[in-house]
Amino acid sequence: MNHIDDWLKNRKKLDAVEPVCTKTTDSPPPTTATTSMQKNRRKKFRGAQTTTCIKELIIDGKKQIYKETNVTDDKGTVIAQSKIY
């Protein structure tokens, strides 16, 4: 159980770190694309915005990383979310 306790302590320390975030926005496809090409492509959300936040902390000489990614549509609704320690 000691390993789990250490992991939880490290996670709390990492949670206290200020994240560094970046945002990217997918642009709509060009208007010159043909209808058949548009139908064959996978559905992509127009104006989807991806926000990626990363927290890094070195504890006992080991780098601890937390990465959170949120994808929202043009109305701000979350359509995908990922959280990785």
pLDDT tens digit sequence for 8-53: 999 999 999 999 999 999 876 555 555 555 555 555 556 799 999 9
Q: Is the residue at 17 inside a domain?
A: yes
Q: Is the residue at 12 inside a domain?
A: yes
Q: Is the residue at 33 inside a domain?
A: no
Banded pLDDT at 7 (limits 50, 70, 90): confident
Q: Is the residue at 62 inside a domain?
A: yes
Work out how many domains the chain is built from and give that number.
1
Six-digit token pair at 52? 């990626």
Q: Is the residue at 77 inside a domain?
A: yes
Q: Is the residue at 79 inside a domain?
A: yes
Residue range(s) defining the domain that contains residue 19:
2-28+40-84
* CB environment 34-73: b (16+ within 10 A), e (fewer): eeeeeeeeeeeeeebbeebbebeeeeeeeebebebebbbe
Predicted TM-score of the model (pTM): 0.69
Q: What is the pLDDT of residues 47-79, one digit of tens each?
A: 799 999 999 999 989 999 999 999 999 899 999
